[in-house]
């Protein structure tokens, strides 16, 4: 066992698997923009995806939100 003031060795630490799993929000809050809300529904896939697949989902959602912003007449540049 590590002496007082030292960091514990890996075998002396509790397993991260013994902790409670992360909780996911039950639903994404509505933004008031139906097109954005439709894209954000995709966040509901996260709990079912392996962690290594999260970046691809985030990238797709980002791209979809950007495309919506670019296509929205409310956000067109003058």
pLDDT at 78 over 50: no
pLDDT at 59: 97
Task: Give the pLDDT confidence of 34-76 residue by residue, as tens digits.
Answer: 999 999 999 989 888 999 999 999 999 999 999 998 886 765 4
Whether the CB-CB separation of 28 and 47 falls below 8 Å is answered with: no
pLDDT at 26 over 80: no
pLDDT at 17 over 90: no
Q: Residue 18 and residue 78: Cα distance in Å, rounded? A: 56
pTM, two decimal places: 0.60
pLDDT at 71: 86
Q: If DSSP codes are grouped into helix, strand and coil, which group holds residue 36? A: helix
């Amino acid at each position: 066992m590590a002496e007082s003031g030292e960091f514990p060795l890996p075998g002396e630490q509790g397993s991260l698997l013994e902790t409670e799993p992360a909780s996911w929000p039950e639903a994404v809050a509505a933004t008031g923009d139906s097109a954005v809300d439709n894209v954000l529904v995709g966040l509901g896939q996260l709990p079912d995806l392996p962690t290594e697949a999260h970046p691809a989902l985030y990238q797709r959602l980002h791209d979809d939100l950007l495309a919506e912003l670019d296509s929205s007449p409310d956000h067109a540049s003058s």
